[in-house]
Structure 1
């Protein structure tokens, strides 16, 4: 009888221990999957980066980037280009980072090999900063997306509705159409998305994400607005796409360059832009007020993405090599060798 009672006690203790282990594992799993709330002021990337495919995003000294040397797969690294780690096996763009998570558009159709690429996977995805716990938030085509607080605002595309503005909550609990208009959500500051009209005009509009209401800001003729320090930087459609800025405080316009601009990116201290010219096309850099313009590289370049340390870009329609130069200070263009080396090591 004593032996039987001892045996039953051991069985009960074992069962209790097993249940405790299962409960603990479940609790940890749920904790890891939980998406903490963000303040409304949190944005996932800069307008300049997102308007240049959103290939780089930076947070807390870490840069998350689409490695062109590895079919555009997602990598992380320190801002000084050390400690490169591969996070996904499919190409990504429109990278956003906020809190403990990354958000991006992933499409396996443009890269990769093997059985896993027979079936196309694409959509708006979320993952933890280490690339673990990947989850699809919306399996649809998306052009540009921006994290605003607890929502991803994104250009949702399908063959029936074409391009509409949607938002999906970061924990996937809500997915809502915001507008039937074609709205680029890239430029955002303190919960307000600034965008240019596309339907009947090219005015500057503001979408307050607290209420999803839209107001007219400036009746100009602009394209690709980007917010920085109280100004909206933009390409002036009515004047051969020259670069200007509009003061939200003074309601005044300043012309920054009379060069025709193909694409641009506004950083903390300077602007990078591609000068369109039949005879002297060049990647240019100048101050935020248009001062001290200088040539970064002669030729035609695209996908200008900025981090705290470097400006990254590539020749038009040539994904590699990827070039970079210190974002501030003296210009010194060289290849992004660390990314190429990391891709080669991962291919072994």
Structure 2
């Protein structure tokens, strides 16, 4: 072997080793016990918007609910999937979501346009490396540490199950369709489904053990700071909160709600009234209430800069408005 041949062989070997190392690293799935997915309020409203690492990921009703990314100011939209998604979560440069081919982009052609695909998927934030983690008819999904907790729909009501983000260790957590979306500090807070409607806490790092937090008919819990907010079925589905340490309860919004979401400053909620239904906003203690939009609204989702929602009967249209109130609500249009 000549010196030139030896050098060439060594260079080729190094290139191959580098390519293999990059491929192995590319296939590794980062996961940490501290990982957390989407906001509970967003996920209670189908998880249509999720913000991570300077990007907003959203289900685009203008394109068959396909997964899109954009800047927080709504510029630079990019389509990431060619089928409808919801319950969007993510961490460590990866996205997790439920995808269902009952809605497909009009730009989809070939084999993908006729196959029936559904289940929980994982992909990179640029849409590449899409992997089906499980093929099942699922409901709500939340990233809780190293695991995805998800509902599975069954004829008997359903189950709560979990799977590690690297597609290992799938197991049944509970034989009822518990909502996993309210996740905070290692615990899933949920309303009982079959035996009661109390608020419970499931400790994900302690064998998914369950304890009762509050007794009553309470729904759609959201933990924020020292409090857990919830819709009170014993008080006409008004909004209440309780201190997690003391258990002390207090009413926040006396009106009947259909749904709500919240950030560090405000609560955004659908006021349920047959005569004057509307989208309203108030402070975290219930003050300074203002009407943002007249009509029956749902699917309230938040990013760092915008409020998104839908109007009853118009599932293929999403509205938006800046959180700073610089302009009123209008139809959100995002073309690829």
TM over 0.5: yes
**1:52 paired residue among 34, 45, 62:** 45
Deviation per CA, 1:262-312: give whole Å up to 9, x if none. 111122211111111111011111111111111111111111001110100
Match for residue 72 of structure 2 among 68, 79, 89: 79
Aligned in 2, Cα 1:162/1:118: closer, same or farther, shift over 3 Å? farther
Q: State which of 148, 163, 167 in structure 2 corresponds to 1:172.
A: 167
Distance 2:27 2:221 in 1: 35
- Which moves more between the two structures, 100-109 or 113-122? 113-122
> Is 2:315 aligned against 1:322?
no
CA deviation after TM superposition for structure 1 residue 194, in Å: 0.3
The 3-state SS of whatever aligns with 2:42 is helix
Structure 1 residue 200, shift from structure 2 partner: 1.5
SS in 2 for 1:108: strand
Structure 2 matches for 1:1-348, cutoff 5 A?
6=2, 10=5, 18-38=12-32, 40-112=33-105, 113-115=108-110, 116-159=112-155, 162-211=157-206, 212-329=208-325, 332-337=328-333, 339=334, 341-342=335-336
Q: RMSD across aligned C-alpha pairs, in angstroms?
A: 1.9
Q: Within 1, Cα distance between the matches of 2:12 and 2:100?
A: 41
Partner residue, 1:345: none
CA deviation after TM superposition for structure 1 residue 16, in Å: 5.6
String of CA shifts for 1:303-328, please: whole Å, max 9, x gaps: 10011101001111312432111224
Is the CA contact 1:42–1:147 (under 8 Å) kept in the aligned structure 2? Answer: yes
Aligned-partner Cα distance in 2 for 1:60–1:269: 21
Q: Is the 1:196–1:202 contact (alpha carbons within 8 Å) kept by the matching residues of 2?
A: yes
Relative to its length, the structure with more helix (as a share) is: 1
Contact in 1 for aligned 2:157/2:177 (Cα 8 Å): no
Match of 1:346 in 2: none
Does structure 2 retain, via aligned residues, the 8 Å contact 1:274–1:282?
yes
The separation in 2 between residues aligned to 1:6 and 1:210, in whole angstroms, is 60
The 1:76–1:219 alpha-carbon spacing in structure 2 relative to 1, beyond 3 Å, is same
Q: Which moved more, 1:170-179 or 1:43-52?
A: 170-179
Q: 2:317, 2:174 → 1: CA distance?
A: 39
Q: How far 1:329 sits from its partner (Å)?
A: 4.3
Deviations 1:13-59 (A, max 9, x none): 66665554443323211211211222x33211011000101001112
Unpaired runs of 5+ in structure 1?
343-348
Q: Which runs of 5+ in 2 are unaligned?
A: none
Distance 2:96 2:181 in 1: 14
Contact persistence 2:65–2:84 (CA under 8 A): yes
Q: Is the 8 A contact 2:84 2:100 kept in 1?
A: yes
Find the residue that maps to 2:126 and give its secondary structure: coil
- Give the distance between the partners of 2:133 and 2:66, measured in 1 at CA: 19
Using the TM superposition, name which of 93-102 and 26-35 deviates more: 26-35
1: CA distance, partners of 2:244 / 2:262: 16
Q: Deviations over 1:109-158 (max 9, x none)?
A: 22235331211111111111111111111111110011011111111234
